[in-house]
Amino acid sequence: MKKRLASLLLGLSLLGGGAAVWAQAPAATPAAPAAVATTAPAEAKPDAAAPPAAPATTAPAVAAPAAAAAPAPVPNKGDTGWMMLSTILVLLMVLPGLALFYGGLVRSKNMLSVLMHVMVTFSLIVVLWFIYGYSLAFTEGNAVIGGFDRLFMKGIWDNTAGTFANAATFSKGVVIPELVFAAFQATFAGITCALIVGAFAERAKFSAVLLFMVIWFTFSYLPMAHMVWFWMGPDAYTGKEVVDAMNAKAGYLWQSGALDFAGGTVVHINAAVAGLVGAYMVGKRIGYGKEAMAPHSLTLTMVGASLLWVGWFGFNAGSALEANGFAALAFINTLGATAAAVLAWSLGEALMKGKASMLGAASGAVAGLVAITPAAGNVGIGGGLVIGFIAGLACLWGVHGLKKLLGADDSLDVFGVHGVGGIVGALLTGVFNSPALGGPGFVADWVTASSIAAADYSIVSQLWIQAKAVLITLVWSGVVSLIAYKVVDLTVGLRVSEEDEREGLDITSHGETAYNR
């Protein structure tokens, strides 16, 4: 077992070394800037909104001959600085935010194992992202997956000439360095996979976790990211005659008009389904339902939840890809919706049990953050507050009611919070995106960057588009997860021995303890 794990890590190290060398080699013909990700609003005009049923194109497109002499767009230092800060904030969400949030929820004998699962999973995915993940998610391929133009980050910069490729944003003529965009999206991929470990905490093999993540990241995260977030960027829409061709190059769900500002489907529902399937496949913890398995440190859980909230401003507001009005809208919705969810969960808990708990307040905060993720820049402030409040109550039911119905030992309620919250947020985005309800609507014409008129917005139609995106995510992640867990079980095995589980994974898997015993 240890030899297999050592071989896996050695292989990744060698690949990483090769990636570094390859990435430095100047490309003969630099690839077009990466496709814009994240389903944020288009900012071709100050009040433009989120992606339309007709998607857009990536990277600064080659203009018509008449415009050939026009100077190439230059990244704005403010936008670049904001995106670098946002990337750091998302890293803060994972390390230490998510790690401490999860760590406080398990028993003390498994504290370090959870920290290891989160930290090493995140690191593994970041390395894989720069080797092949970014290319498959954000370069042109087909409607489901991208290509290999950016394999090993090839062509992203020319070290000889000292020039850097740019990535499109959601405004015509506005770009950011592609290196920054790639780094920002790397943190998204990393935290998505790290979320999954909470579902089978306290009994999964460390080697099994890492092998599963490699498979799931490759066949579930990357296709979902491409389907939802890849398009050709606003500058590719040079005239009505190219619209159909540019739309056809986008990801399937972008083409369908699905709105997902920062990852309700790609991140939360995707990870939650993988976690739920894992909870079934790995099985229940020994003594589950019979022995006390209370969190060992709600103090750490509260600290972790607070760091998640702080970091989430980069997660959501950074998904605008610019320091602009839509980043500000996502910023304030991340504040308001989360606060509303804390109040809703606490109120619901008080009505159910007679007391509101710290664990409930922290869980409510995460529920609100999850639900507002797809809606952050796609709804007005009032809509954000409503989404947060509904999510707080819905996730409370997900943790206490739905969990019993499903019968799975989802250790840290990954599906109850991220699955239920992600579904609520994705669906309600279609409702509160409506201009009649204070939302910005979406861009209806990327040639002129004009938004849909309030009278033309159909809540029913958009709600159906959102529901299709949710269903596709549920099925896609479910099937990939089932196959991935089975492969892992047949190779290295999913679960530690009963003796190791009873002693605790800190000692048996890592030879350490979080606390003196």
Return d(Cα 53, Cα 254) in angstroms, integer: 7
pLDDT at 238: 95
Q: How far is CA 224 from the centre of its chain?
A: 10
pLDDT along the chain (517 residues), means of 10: 44 41 33 36 36 36 48 94 98 98 98 98 98 98 97 95 96 97 98 98 98 98 98 96 97 98 98 98 96 96 98 98 98 98 98 96 98 98 98 98 97 98 98 98 95 96 98 98 98 98 97 87
Return d(Cα 140, Cα 223) in angstroms, integer: 12
Please report the DSSP string for 72-130 in residue order.
PP---HHHHHHHHHHHHHHHHIIIIIIHHHHHHHS-GGGHHHHHHHHHHHHHHHHHHII
pLDDT at 69: 54
Return d(Cα 37, Cα 59) in angstroms, integer: 11
Return d(Cα 506, Cα 415) in angstroms, integer: 25
Return d(Cα 147, Cα 141) in angstroms, integer: 5
Q: How far is CA 175 from the centre of its chain?
A: 22
pLDDT at 71: 84
Among candidate residues 169, 167, 185, the one with its CA nearest the CA of residue 177: 167
Report angle CA 374, 376, 379 to the nearest 5 degrees.
100
